């Protein structure tokens, strides 16, 4: 099996390393990443070559997703399985269904982990699947690969995903970025609660500001959750 991955940023590189155990991985990046690829035992190819793989995974920035879909739609072979890895799901699922030919199999995915959260392994971490246009046979085929990684598979709709992740992901990142602005650091006089808050801030700021902005912009429910948080804090603050 061949796996083509479009995008070789921090997550794309991490994800390429996971998939190489299942087949030959070929990646596309606008940068020369041939040295990294050689060290990892994978290949760097042209965008067209990557799109000829059996499975094509789009791992570009959310803000570049629709542009990328339009760019590759004529390169894909009939029967290819295309997946995204965006932390929002409505927008990429709609874009793939709109622009890709009907003979292309489509699966929205959100690996709810990254280089930091998976540093001790993948066992028990969550993988969200939002089927767009894929046969039962191919969906089972993909699920089996994720099961081999011992991931917890959650199958749902893109709408439910975005509603829930607006709170569990977007709001947490919003809070973490706010804590970053306070320049909070480790202190001798600390509490377990403070240490946990510090960890939240450290985790979210390891991700790029581009990812933070994109998840807030492209999740249609994120603004509501941000406003709920701010209103709740203001209500509490008015008691003093």
* Together in a domain, 103 and 205: no
Q: Are residues 62 and 83 in the same domain?
A: yes
Asked if 142 and 164 sit in the same domain, the reply is: no
Confidence of residue 116 (pLDDT cuts 50, 70, 90): confident
- The domain boundary, picked from 156, 191, 209, lies at 156
The total number of structural domains in the chain stands at 2
66 and 131 part of one domain? yes
Percent of the chain with pLDDT over 70: 100
Count helices and strands (H / E) in the chain: 11, 8
User: Which pLDDT score, from 0 to 100, does residue 97 have?
Assistant: 98
Model confidence pLDDT, tens digit, residues 150-191 = 999 999 999 999 999 999 999 999 999 999 999 989 999 999
Neighbours of 66 (CB within 10 A): 16
Q: What are the φ/ψ torsions at residue 209 (nearest 5 degrees)?
A: -65, -30
180 in the same domain as 137:
no
How many angstroms separate the CA atoms of 107 and 85, rounded? 10
Q: What is the pTM of this model?
A: 0.93
149: CATH = 3.40.50.720
37 CB neighbour count, 10 Å cutoff: 20
- 122, 156, 190 — which closes off a domain? 156
pLDDT band at 149 (very low <50, low <70, confident <90, very high): very high
Whether residue 191 sits in one domain with residue 204: yes
CB 133 within 8 A of CB 219: no
- Whether the CB-CB separation of 125 and 118 falls below 8 Å is answered with yes
| Residue 71 structural domain | 2-156
Shared domain for 68 and 81, answered yes or no, is yes
Residues 169 and 149 in one domain: no
Tens of pLDDT, residues 81-108: 999 999 999 999 999 999 999 999 999 9
Q: Do 172 and 69 have their domain in common?
A: no
Check whether residue 141 and residue 170 sit in a common domain: no
- Using the 3D structure, point to which of 121, 156, 191 is the last residue of a domain: 156
Q: Each residue of 176-232: pLDDT tens digit?
A: 999 999 998 999 999 999 999 999 999 899 899 999 999 999 999 999 999 999 999
Based on the fold, state whether residues 79 and 174 are members of the same structural domain.
no
User: What 8-state DSSP symbol labels residue 150?
Assistant: T
Within this chain, do residues 127 and 103 fall inside the same structural domain, yes or no?
yes
Q: What is the mean pLDDT of the chain?
A: 96
Residue among 198, 188, 221, 215 at smallest CA distance from 88: 215
Read off the tokens for 36: 């990294």
């Amino acid at each position: 099996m061949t796996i083509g991955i479009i995008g070789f940023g921090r997550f794309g590189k991490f994800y390429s390393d996971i998939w190489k155990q299942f087949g030959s991985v070929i990646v596309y990046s606008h940068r020369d990443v041939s040295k990294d690829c050689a060290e990892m035992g994978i290949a760097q190819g042209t965008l067209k070559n990557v799109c000829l793989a059996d499975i094509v995974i789009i791992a570009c920035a959310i803000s570049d997703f629709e542009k990328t879909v339009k760019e590759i739609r004529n390169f894909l072979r009939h029967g290819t399985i295309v997946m995204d890895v965006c932390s929002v799901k409505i927008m990429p699922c709609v874009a793939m269904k709109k622009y890709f030919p009907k003979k292309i199999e489509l699966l929205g995915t959100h690996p709810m982990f990254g280089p930091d959260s998976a540093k001790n392994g993948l066992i028990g971490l969550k993988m969200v699947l939002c089927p767009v246009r894929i046969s039962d046979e191919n969906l089972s085929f993909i699920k089996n690969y994720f099961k081999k990684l011992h991931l917890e598979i959650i199958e749902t709709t893109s709408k439910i995903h975005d509603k829930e992740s607006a709170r569990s992901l977007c709001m947490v990142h919003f809070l973490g970025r706010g804590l970053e602005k306070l320049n909070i650091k480790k202190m001798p006089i600390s509490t377990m609660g403070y240490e946990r808050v510090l960890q939240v801030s450290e985790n979210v700021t390891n991700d790029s500001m581009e990812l933070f902005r994109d998840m807030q912009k492209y999740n249609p429910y994120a603004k509501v959750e941000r406003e709920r948080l701010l209103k709740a804090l203001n209500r509490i603050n008015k008691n003093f």
